[in-house]
Amino acid sequence: MHLRSATAADLDLLRRWDEQPHVVAADPNDDWAWEVELSKKPDWREQLIAEVDGQPIGFIQIIDPAHEESHYWGNVPANLRAIDIWIGEGINLGKGYGTKMMHLALARCFAAPDVVAVLIDPLASNTRSHPFYERLGFRFVECRRFGEDECLVYRLERSDYVCGAQQLAPTDEPRLGSPRH
């Protein structure tokens, strides 16, 4: 598996993935505004396409929630990252791709020595995702409403990542977490 930056050339692909039933079920109330967002490259965000054998299979967004412009996470301390992830086509579910994608995303997050933890916020109704994140070492923090969505907030501490089985060397150079953050 390889992660590459999402580009304007991925617009139709991301729009198609947004319409897949499992993606809608996991993220029913967000408009990602791909036409606008794919052209932006803020220093607080990475938008990535996961590929297997050159074929795109999923999307990952990694943000620095303290600097993210909409303040989605509210007032959070520095030195955190937050991840959004999904598999694009239903045919690619259940193949271990999500786990591999998370390993690569976490390696990118923790490659920055100042990052102390990573946050995720699956829908409370997305009960299949909760044990997935827990197996990766994430711990439940709280139930929280983000806009119209009831979510569970999970957090993975650096110490749990370093000690856990998810330790993997990053295969791509991280962009987020440079000393300027």
Question: Could you give all domains of the chain from N- to C-terminal order, each with its CATH number?
Answer: 2-163 (3.40.630.30)
Q: What is the pTM of this model?
A: 0.85
Q: What tens digit of pLDDT does each residue of 82-110 get?
A: 999 988 887 888 899 999 999 999 999 99
CA atoms of 24 and 126, how far apart (whole Å) = 11
Under 8 Å between Cβ of 181 and 64:
yes
Q: What residues contact residue 144 under an 8 Å CB cut-off, 6+ apart?
A: 121, 150, 151, 152, 153
Tokens (6 digits) for 125:
């109704």
Closest of 103, 107, 108, 169 to residue 132, by C-alpha: 103
By the 8 A CB rule, do 18 and 58 touch? no
For 23-45, what is each residue's pLDDT tens digit?
766 765 566 777 878 888 899 99
